[in-house]
Chains A and B, each alone.
Chain A
Amino acid sequence: GDSVTQMEGPVTLSEEAFLTINCTYTATGYPSLFWYVQYPGEGLQLLLKATKADDKGSNKGFEATYRKETTSFHLEKGSVQVSDSAVYFCALSDSGNEKLTFGTGTRLTIIP
């Protein structure tokens, strides 16, 4: 079945540091890939998405590239801010299967 493996957290970085959160996936079809972010006490917000191989999703300085050859969708940001502190979830939606399969989440804390 489908699965998503995410980098274990928590991750603590200083402000303006470079961020990478690793995500790899297993899927039977041709999935769409997503990064969602969850702030304390809130639901999930879609951060970025990619629907086919080699697509790059980007939003708010975050980027991730759909790599079919390595089945990966790593999240990156060049310079993190304190406001980026949250839990980040990698997820996939397999073709013809209307559900999201999530990774376990990575808690990110940015210190000033």
Chain B
Amino acid sequence: KAGVTQTPRYLIKTRGQQVTLSCSPISGHRSVSWYQQTPGQGLQFLFEYFSETQRNKGNFPGRFSGRQFSNSRSEMNVSTLELGDSALYLCASSLATGTYGYTFGSGTRLTVV
């Protein structure tokens, strides 16, 4: 059974550019969440989607957005990149709720220069 797949694994972007990260959840999982991991702030929740609808959103500026497609695949977009956006972005999926835990992907390492 394939796990959660995130692409690309590594990305280098220039300040001011925009970036799109992709996440394919485990087959049958309908909930997809995104997290940002940095040494200073730790793991912070970005947003969660279920059946193409955003159910929950964290405290991030509007430059961070996401969407989910009918096949449950999800993308997140960051516009007007800042140096502080450099982080490991993790995607997680679950069947429907987080009650029994989420399965995480290996992450996309974004470096903004």
Contact = CB atoms under 8 A, between A and B. Distances in A.
Contacts of A104: 42
Contacts of A95: 99
Contacts of B99: 32, 51, 93, 95
Interface stretch (A10-18, A42-50, A60-68, A75-83): A42-50
Contact of A100 (B98, B105, B106, B107): B98
B28 interface: no
A6 to B, nearest CB: 10
Contact of A102 (B31, B42, B106): B42
Interface string A82-111: 000000010001010111111111000000
Given A32-B98, A32-B99, A100-B45, A43 B107 contact: yes
B101 interface: yes
A86 to B, nearest CB: 14
B105 A89 contact: no
A34 interface: yes
Given A43-B107, A46-B102, A98-B50, 13 more contacts: A43-B6, A43-B106, A44-B90, A44-B104, A89-B43, A99-B33, A99-B45, A99-B98, A100-B43, A100-B92, A102-B42, A103-B42, A105-B42
Interface of B: 4, 6, 31, 33, 35, 42-43, 45, 48, 50, 55-56, 58, 90, 92, 97-107
27 contacts: A32-B99, A43-B90, A43-B104, A45-B104, A46-B102, A46-B103, A49-B100, A49-B101, A51-B100, A89-B43, A93-B98, A93-B99, A93-B101, A97-B56, A98-B50, A98-B97, A99-B33, A99-B48, A99-B56, A99-B58, A99-B98, A100-B35, A100-B43, A100-B45, A102-B42, A102-B43, A104-B42
Interface of A: 32, 34, 36, 42-46, 49, 51, 89, 93, 95, 97-105
